[in-house]
Amino acid sequence: GAVVSQHPSRVICKSGTSVKIECRSLDFQATTMFWYRQFPKKSLMLMATSNEGSKATYEQGVEKDKFLINHASLTLSTLTVTSAHPEDSSFYICSAPAGVDGELFFGEGSRLTVL
């Protein structure tokens, strides 16, 4: 099956700094990448949808300037949490549809802790 590689798996940063999370499609071209956030013991919350070569579409309530998404190539999408605050601490995960059916393939997830 298709593979989505997400890095870093864990990151700890100081409040006010920016953190970049990368998702790469290793064996397929990901024209679309979905970015999610997950709070403890909660389900996935779709944050935004990125499409290669165009601006990301953000879900209602998600700050575009806080969560910068770039999808500059067919194999790489990035999420940058800018000026991170402790409330941004969360599990962030990406997924991309692949194949004829558009089955979803997920990255391993990134656990962000902002001190």
Among the candidate windows 17-25, 64-72, 75-83, 95-103, which touches other proteins by CB under 8 A?
Answer: 95-103
Tally of CB atoms within 10 A around 104: 13
In 3-state terms, what secondary structure has residue 31? Answer: coil
Query: Token pair for residue 93?
Result: 């995960």
* Least separation in angstroms between CB 37 and other proteins: 11
Contact between 43 and other proteins per CB under 8 A: yes
Q: In whole angstroms, what is the distance from residue 78 CA to residue 80 CA?
A: 6
* Least separation in angstroms between CB 74 and other proteins: 20
Contact between 101 and other proteins per CB under 8 A: yes
